Chain A
Amino acid sequence: MATQILMPALSPTMEEGTLAKWLVKEGDTVTSGMIIAEIETDKATMEFEAVDEGVMGKILIAEGTEGVKVNTPIAVLVEEGESAEDVAAEPKAAAPKAEAAPESSVKADAPVAAQPAAKLPAVPQPDWPEGTKMKSMTVREALREAMAEEMRGNENVFLMGEEVGEYQGAYKISQGLLDEFGARRVIDTPITEAGFAGLAVGAAWGGLNPIVEFMTFNFAMQAIDHIINSAAKTNYMSGGQLPCPIVFRGPNGAAARVAAQHSQDYAAWYSHVPGLKVVMPYSAADAKGLLKAAIRDPNPVIFLENEILYGRTFEVPDLEDFTVEIGKARIARPGKDVTIVSFGIGMTYALEAAEKLAAEGIDAEVIDLRTIRPMDTATIIASVQKTNRLVTVEEGFPQSSVGNFISATVMMEAFDYLDAPVINLCGKDVPMPYAANLEKLALVTTAEVIEAVKKVTYR
């Protein structure tokens, strides 16, 4: 019986890939475990091993083909003696596996799903002069460029973390940096977060400007004592003698199907701590400008990235030295009926909701907080004074959320302007489940944003 070989999913976030190269040709014998093709995923080029044995009957997708969706048949394996022609005539018979994947549809709706490259609406951008030439780049490239530029400009800036060098970064943010800057400045560490975070704080006191990459912020929990007790508080405790110019950065929040210990948003956690600055960009321009500003900042900066956003493309100003001031929110979409405040990946849902609401005649103003601490509450208050309604959107847990702080601030400073109770949308109050259907329910969604907006606008 012939067996179809399907385009494999080779990473948690892969929806499609490029069939870079076939390593077997039609007629070749294939054994289990044999590497038969090279496939480019969203993160890397992977070797694809055969599971079943047989003879390569027919190659259905030619090498070099881009955008091959996961689970598309790419070749047919036949048994010794069987002809590929017979097989080509009966492709359905060999496809029980394709049907066996009801989940792929669920997966397609997961937050990772092929969301269109986000285009920021054309509103005045105070971050760069009007008429500036723009270039398209992914958040990943923007972060890389920010680090490279700052490392070129300041000999004391170095990058340290797990797999940042020879592996080129677990999420490929530091790709190429080892080549350019060498092992003195791009430093692979053992798996020892408490140790290297503390070491980096010491190095900052010693006059260097460390960028510490946590493979993900979940692992920064191993090091949180040094982040808070050593990095954040010592300037104060020393009467201003020991500032700590350091950036702690890495992906934060849920990726896709990686369960409770690997899916958590730390925005609210770090925002609690005096002495820290907390930045969480959404667009590539903000990722670049804010990371450059963070590296130059004389204080410890927690820089929260997002794995799902890494691959998204945005317009970035093509300037020699582009920075974005820490502590300034951005009005991503002006509107008059309701204010939606979000940050990081939450902006995806906020903007999508605003778009859909516009079609229903509700004109939402969307504010991208960008910095969680110190927070630009003035921009929020000014907006609420205009719209009189507020919804906040974030991925973290509900209790003591960033939204809670915003609500309290608005109540204290603009109570009389509110026409409806503020709604704080958050992730659900549960550890992140692994099951596809439950994970979807645990995350905040565009539909929930729309529902909340309708509630505060009494529609």
Chain B
Amino acid sequence: MAARKTTEKSNVSGEELLKYYRDMLLIRRFEEKAGQLYGMGLIGGFCHLYIGQEAVVVGIEAAAKDGDKRITSYRDHGHMLVCGMDPKGVMAELTGRIGGYSKGKGGSMHMFSREKHFYGGHGIVGAQVPLGTGLAFSDKYKGNDNVTFTYFGDGAANQGQVYESYNMAELWNLPVVYVIENNQYAMGTSTKRSTKSPNLWERGAAYGIKGEAVDGMDVLAVKAAAEKAIAACRAGDGPYILEVMTYRYRGHSMSDPAKYRTREEVQKMREERDAIERVRELLIGSGQASDDDLKAIDKEIKAVVNEAAEFSKDSPEPDVSELWTDIYA
């Protein structure tokens, strides 16, 4: 891991830490369940799991306020769960049922919630970057102080439209935080094989955009960096780039044989850097929670995920008439 920032942990309350623990665990258990349902044929097509990257979205969202917007790629389940979307609706979309956020028409890669300001769920690598920039444009235009989080991957960072967006965002001071989720791989291509830029966040400098690298396996570090970036945006001093160094434990999608990295590399990350373990240790070490407290949370989350899975199986397929709805507004 390149970036390793030290953060003050002294002022973090047990309550707050427990919330991050809970949010990250919800994502992990939800994704494990999704993987299981995929194996059973209940989920089809492409399904990209977020396991390993939980601290990124939980840390960023911890600094958000009501009204802020977010947009991301196809690896979107975690983002939806953390911004308050209902796990039942997300899982039912994965199974392609009417109870899903897109009535079953979008699937794993394409979900949206206007209510929670979640703008998708996009399948074309890099496409969400100008879209997120445009969401920020709308807030600036209206004169409010909302910020848009535009998440994209290390692979997406090589798409030209990212740089067209950077240029406009800085030119017009748009309130957008670009969150590069650098999980070190774009499918089977490691960042070392796709670019010679040592740091992706530094590319913003060519456009005059401030940025920094952040340890994405440390939810508190992510939150601290997000607070800084968001404050700059709210003060009219946007945009801002956060390159969050993270790791995905699973294959790129369910059908990735993952021969491009060793089992040991993944295992080492899981054992030494896991973001959930880190918070667990903090909680136990500081006496802010007991083993039993955490067990109770685990159980609670398992129940939430199981309920979502049940709902996603019981919810009926969309009525055939849905084929012809929503084509035009």
Q: Residues of A at under 8 Å CB distance from B?
A: 6, 8-12, 14, 32-33, 35, 41, 43-47, 49, 51, 70-71, 97, 100-101, 103-104, 107, 162-163, 166-167, 170, 188, 190-192, 194-195, 218-219, 221-222, 255-262, 428-431, 433-438, 441-442
Rounded to whole angstroms, the CA-CA distance of A70 and B317 in the bound complex is 21
* B190: nearest chain-A partner, CB-CB: A166
Interface string of B94-122 (1 = CB under 8 A from A): 01110000111111111000000000001
CB atoms of A438 and B104 under 8 A apart: yes
CB distance from A93 to the nearest CB of B (A): 18
* B162: nearest chain-A partner, CB-CB: A192
Known: A41-B255, A190-B155, A433-B105. A167 touches B186 (CB 8 A): no
CB atoms of A43 and B313 under 8 A apart: no
Kindly identify which residue among B42, B155, B258 contacts A47, using a CB–CB cutoff of 8 Å. B258
In the assembled complex, which residues on chain B have CB atoms less than 8 Å from the CB atom of A44?
Answer: 255, 257
In the assembled complex, which residues on chain A have CB atoms less than 8 Å from the CB atom of B320?
Answer: 437-438, 441
19 contacts between A and B (CB under 8 A): A9-B39, A9-B44, A14-B255, A104-B41, A163-B188, A167-B187, A191-B155, A191-B156, A222-B159, A256-B44, A256-B45, A257-B45, A258-B45, A259-B107, A259-B110, A261-B123, A262-B45, A437-B318, A437-B320
In the assembled complex, which residues on chain A have CB atoms less than 8 Å from the CB atom of B318?
Answer: 433, 435, 437-438
Known: A41-B255, A190-B195. A163 touches B187 (CB 8 A): yes
Rounded to whole angstroms, the CA-CA distance of A441 and B320 in the bound complex is 8
CB atoms of B323 and A191 under 8 A apart: no
* A434: nearest chain-B partner, CB-CB: B107
Known: A43-B255, A167-B260, A261-B122. A436 touches B44 (CB 8 A): yes
Rounded to whole angstroms, the CA-CA distance of A109 and B38 in the bound complex is 18
CB distance from B183 to the nearest CB of A (A): 14
B30-47 at interface with A (beta carbon < 8 Å) = 32-33, 35-36, 38-42, 44-46
CB atoms of B46 and A12 under 8 A apart: yes
State whether the Cβ of B322 lies closer than 8 Å to any Cβ in chain A: yes
Q: Residues of B at under 8 Å CB distance from A?
A: 32-33, 35-36, 38-42, 44-46, 93, 95-97, 102-110, 122-126, 155-156, 158-160, 186-189, 193-195, 251, 254-255, 257-260, 263, 313, 317-318, 320, 322-324, 327
CB distance from B15 to the nearest CB of A (A): 28
In the assembled complex, which residues on chain B have CB atoms less than 8 Å from the CB atom of A436?
Answer: 44, 96, 317
CB atoms of A107 and B44 under 8 A apart: yes
Known: A166-B260, A261-B122, A430-B324. A190 touches B158 (CB 8 A): yes
In the assembled complex, which residues on chain A have CB atoms less than 8 Å from the CB atom of B263?
Answer: 35
Rounded to whole angstroms, the CA-CA distance of A37 and B40 in the bound complex is 16
Rounded to whole angstroms, the CA-CA distance of A255 and B46 in the bound complex is 10
* B160: nearest chain-A partner, CB-CB: A194
CB atoms of B41 and A261 under 8 A apart: no
In the assembled complex, which residues on chain A have CB atoms less than 8 Å from the CB atom of B45?
Answer: 12, 255-259, 262, 434
* A44: nearest chain-B partner, CB-CB: B257
Rounded to whole angstroms, the CA-CA distance of A47 and B259 in the bound complex is 10
Rounded to whole angstroms, the CA-CA distance of A44 and B189 in the bound complex is 17
Rounded to whole angstroms, the CA-CA distance of A409 and B100 in the bound complex is 45
CB atoms of A10 and B254 under 8 A apart: yes
Known: A190-B155, A257-B45, A436-B317. A218 touches B124 (CB 8 A): yes
* A32: nearest chain-B partner, CB-CB: B32
Known: A188-B189, A258-B46, A431-B327. A45 touches B257 (CB 8 A): yes
Known: A430-B327, A435-B97. A70 touches B155 (CB 8 A): no
In the assembled complex, which residues on chain B have CB atoms less than 8 Å from the CB atom of A191?
Answer: 125-126, 155-156, 158-159, 186, 189, 194
CB atoms of A262 and B160 under 8 A apart: no
In the assembled complex, which residues on chain A have CB atoms less than 8 Å from the CB atom of B104?
Answer: 433-435, 438
Rounded to whole angstroms, the CA-CA distance of A71 and B323 in the bound complex is 28
* A168: nearest chain-B partner, CB-CB: B259
CB atoms of B317 and A435 under 8 A apart: yes
Interface-centre pick from B104, B194, B255 (highest chain A CB count, 10 A): B255
Interface-centre pick from A256, A433, A435 (highest chain B CB count, 10 A): A435
CB atoms of A6 and B40 under 8 A apart: yes
Known: A32-B32, A46-B257, A100-B313. A428 touches B323 (CB 8 A): yes
